[in-house]
Structure 1
Amino acid sequence: MPARENHHPFRPRVPEPAPLALGEPMRLEAVSWLQWAEQGMLLLALSLTRIAAR
């Protein structure tokens, strides 16, 4: 019966959080590094456009 409860017609099925795998912290760290690099590129572009606007 608990399996059918997951597919209740009036409630959207929410995927259960998967157990933390061994590679999960590395993947999260890589995502944070990507966000950090993207922010740095945005700041660089902003400063370059400000320099060019002078």
Structure 2
Amino acid sequence: MNFLLKIYKWFEKLIQPLHDWILENHGNPLLWIGVFIGSVLIFSFVYDRLRKE
């Protein structure tokens, strides 16, 4: 259990700068357009790969 807690703390430190940046820029429409386009691209890539198998 201690190992999982260490992984969680490490991951939390890793994403903290990204979290802070998103909180500072959450009103920026370009951020949300980028998040939407990125999500669609990731979804289409994964869907295409799973469909081929």
- Bucket of the pairwise TM-score, normalised by the shorter protein: 0.3 to 0.5
Task: Provide the TM-score with structure 1 as the length reference.
Answer: 0.47
Larger Rg over CA atoms: 1
Higher helix share: 2
Task: Provide the TM-score with structure 2 as the length reference.
Answer: 0.48
